[in-house]
């Protein structure tokens, strides 16, 4: 499996503040043996898979998850995806929670490349969390259209702000969530502890302290 980096930090979306092993998956990354990666990740209560689009490597993802769950049957796995590629061989694994960030037209990606109904329906059947990046009325209208067309339940819907949050944006997000009775979420990790991870002085110092 090709990955860019691994690091330890705290989750910041929906399940906030859980200490986890993060794996940044990318086709431009370094090839890492699935067995070795699973042995590194098995000691954590939660593993977070994220990246440009994790399921571009869906065969390797399936092999890795099967090995990881075999090593630690109680482990929880968060998978962050844009929802355009349907996974294989992992639909029956209950340890997985899916976070599907459906891209809206504000992403400047053509509709046919960002919305694949077959994949969306699969994730919906898996009771995934669906996140919609909302900045204005047009975004909200499109999100509602996708929610209706794909029969997504309200308990699975999270209106989201992933960029730096201004107070007026957050007020607007809460207004939409309250009106439509949806959930909302912001990326607490990015806002408050983005500096905790592999490439920062905080973690280096912690590691040095406990390895001396």
- Among 21-30, 112-121, 183-192, the range scoring the smallest mean pLDDT is 183-192
Domains defined for the chain, CATH in brackets: 2-211 (3.20.20.70)
pTM: 0.90
| In the predicted structure, residue 41 carries a pLDDT above the cut 60 | yes
In angstroms, the CA 169 to CA 166 distance is 5
pLDDT surpasses 70 at 189: yes
Residue 3's CB is within 10 A of a number of other CB atoms, namely: 21
**At residue 40, does pLDDT exceed 50?**
yes
Can you give the pLDDT at residue 208? 39
């Amino acid at each position: 499996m090709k990955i860019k980096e691994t690091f330890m930090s705290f989750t910041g979306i929906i399940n906030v503040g859980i200490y986890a092993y993060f794996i940044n998956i990318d086709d431009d990354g370094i090839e890492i043996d699935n067995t070795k990666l699973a042995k590194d990740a098995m000691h954590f209560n939660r593993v977070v898979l994220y990246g440009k689009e994790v399921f571009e490597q869906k065969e390797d993802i399936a092999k890795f998850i099967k090995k990881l769950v075999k090593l630690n049957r109680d482990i929880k796995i968060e998978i962050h995806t844009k929802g355009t590629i349907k996974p294989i061989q992992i639909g029956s694994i209950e340890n997985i929670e899916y976070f599907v960030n459906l891209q809206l037209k504000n992403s400047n990606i053509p509709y046919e490349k960002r919305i694949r109904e077959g994949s969306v329906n699969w994730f919906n059947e898996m009771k995934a969390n669906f996140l919609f990046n909302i900045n204005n009325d047009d975004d909200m209208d499109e999100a509602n259209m996708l929610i209706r067309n794909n029969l997504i339940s309200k308990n699975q819907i999270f209106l989201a702000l992933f960029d730096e949050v201004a107070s007026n944006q957050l007020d607007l997000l809460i207004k939409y969530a309250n009106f439509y009775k949806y959930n909302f979420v912001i990326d607490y990790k990015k806002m408050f502890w983005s500096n905790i991870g592999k490439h920062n002085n905080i973690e280096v110092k912690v590691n040095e302290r406990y390895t001396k």
